Each structure stands twice: as structure tokens, then as C-alpha cells.
Amino acid sequence: MSAFSRILFLFGSACALLACKSYYPTPSNALSVESLMILPDALAETSGLYCDSDHMLSLNDSGNAPVLFKIDFNGNIIQQLPLAITNKDWEAVTADNTHYFIADVGNNGGKREQVEVYKINRQDLNDITLLKLSYVGNTITGNTPYAHDFDSEAMVKKGSELLLFSKSWRTGITHIYTIDEQMAEQHISPIADIKGLPGVVTGADFDTTRNVFVITGYKSDPFGNFEAFIAQVAPDFSIINIWPLETYKQVEGVCVDKKGQYWFSEEATKGRPASLSQASVN
């Protein structure tokens, strides 16, 4: 593809996926954003969120130190956990009773042949298993930055399954992948798709109280405009509800606490600090 054709394709993709104002069908329930807390500067580039029993976990993306942050539900940092791994482009964190999982999977530019997930023992942070992932069909010479589907920013541990959600710049169709925790190197293909979300997916969790996935993301344009959203998606990956997050910009993470409350984090953008917000479904 010529340079001019790439520019036209990228512009066309931006117009199709990012530029036009979204239409949201009427949801079956209301979502109420009830609080917003400004996050410390140390989490200005927050890029993932996980609700643990009595605190949350967050992390920063590329260019930052390999540190996992424990924060309280007011957005204050409780503890910083330095990890003996690399932060190429951390984008998501999830966990189960025994392990943390950090997704070093950011690939906006499309130039990574392989991405990584780190499985970390909660009782011994030096006990780390590296899982190397390659997308079937990914050819880095054929990828246009911000106009391909081999990117991801959302990962969920649901029961025994470790699920990765694509950030599909090109098609707008979210691809779901399973990760085998026992396989050091693996080639992954989609097991399912989500069609109809109003932007790219940047965070996900599973709401056990309602038996639905909770997904957040946004669409944006080159001029710094964002339209953020939260959605509920059924276990068969059909869309149930979509709610716009008015005034929010680069929403990057979402998690569900033990009371069934939704929490989402927003990375700092021009004129807007990083934040943590809590929402209820009525």
C-alpha cells in the first residue's frame, strides 16, 4: 500500500470508527455516576483497573516504571509494588485468589510481533511466569498505526478462563481470545466477537452479581475529542446495555467491586487530570 493510500485508509478508518457522534440505544437500566476522585500524579497514565476485596489495583502504560499500585476506593495510593519485569506497554491488570496477571499488550502502532502476559504469585512477587502471545494473521509490515486489529487493552480472569479483548481500530469489531496459563508461547485466534460497540475497548471485567461482562472504551479523533462509554455484554458476547460517559475522555479501566458497584479510571489528557469514578446501575 502506498503512503498516500495508507493516509487515505487511516483517514477513512478514523471517520468510520472515531469521528461521527455515536447513537446509543435506550438502555434497560440507568447508570448513575455517583463520585469522581482525582488520582495522584503517580497514576497520571493509569491504564488498567482491578477491584480486589478491600482495595483496587492499577498501573501505568508505556514509558513508566514496572510498578503495580494498590489504591483505596478514594483513589489514594496505599502501596507501590515494584516488579522485576519490563513495562513495554502495560495495558491491563486482573487477578484471581493466587495470582496477578499483567497484560503487556499495547500495540497501537502495530509493530509488535509478540506481546506478553505476566502471571505473578500474590504471595511471592518474584515468582513470575511469562506468557508470550502471537496473534494469528498479524503481519507487522502490513499494519497501519491506529488502523489495525492486533491491539488490546482489556483482560479478564473469569473463573478458570483468562480472556483478552482486542482494541480493534480497523473494523470496530472486538475480538475475544483465550490465554492458556500453562503454555509459555502460544498463537491465539479469536473465539468470539462483539459487534456494535461504539468505539474501541480499553477495559473489561466480569460482574458476577449480574452475570455480565462490563466493558469500557471510547472513540476519538485527531483533534482530542473523545466519546467514552460503558457497556454490559452477556456471556455469549451479545450487547445488553451501552451508556455514554458524558464529559469523560480517555477512560482506560473498569472493575466491579464486591457490592456490584462499577468503578472506572481515566488517564490524564490535556486540561483534564487522571481520575477514578464510581457508578451504580439502577
Look up the CATH number of the domain holding residue 185.
2.120.10.30
Residue 99 lies in a domain: yes
Report d(CA 183, CA 185) in Å as an integer: 6
Q: Tell me, yes or no, whether 273 lies in a domain.
A: yes
- Provide the pLDDT confidence category of residue 5 given band limits of 50, 70 and 90: very low
Contact 131, 115 (CB under 8 A): no
Question: What is the residue range of 252's domain?
Answer: 20-281
Residue 116 DSSP SS3: strand
Backbone phi, psi, residue 74, to 5° = -110, 5
pLDDT band at 32 (very low <50, low <70, confident <90, very high): very high
Q: Per-residue pLDDT averaged across 190-212, rounded?
A: 98
Residue 135 lies in a domain: yes
- Say if 155 falls within a structural domain: yes
Once rounded to an integer, what is the mean pLDDT over residues 200-209?
98
Strands 200-207 and 212-220: antiparallel
Instruction: Residue 273: count other Cβ atoms within 10 Å of its Cβ.
Output: 14
Q: Which three cell numbers stand for residue 179?
A: 490465554
C-alpha cell at 193: 466477537
Nearest of 224, 229, 263, 270 to residue 36 by alpha carbon: 263
Q: Do the domain assignments include residue 165?
A: yes
Average pLDDT, the chain: 93
Q: Are 144 and 151 in contact (CB under 8 A)?
A: no
Confidence class for position 10, pLDDT limits 50, 70, 90: very low
pLDDT digits (tens, 9 = 90+) for 130-152: 999 999 999 999 999 999 999 99
CB 121 within 8 A of CB 127: yes
> Distance between terminal CA atoms of the chain?
49
Does residue 248 fall inside a structural domain?
yes
Q: Are 71 and 43 in contact (CB under 8 A)?
A: yes
Judged by average pLDDT, the poorest of 12-21, 44-53, 57-66, 88-97 is: 12-21
Backbone angles phi, psi at 165, to 5 degrees: -110, 130
Torsion sign, CA atoms 151, 44, 199, 74: positive
Domain count across the chain: 1
What is the C-alpha to C-alpha distance for residues 274 and 40, in angstroms, rounded to an integer? Answer: 8
Q: How many CB atoms lie within 10 A of CB 38?
A: 14
The answer to whether position 238 is within a domain reads yes
Taking alpha carbons only, the member of 255, 229, 238, 267 closest to residue 31 is 229
Residue showing cell 510498578: 67
pLDDT at 6: 45
* Position 32 in a domain: yes
Reduced to 3 states (helix: H, G, I; strand: E, B; else coil), residue 64 is coil
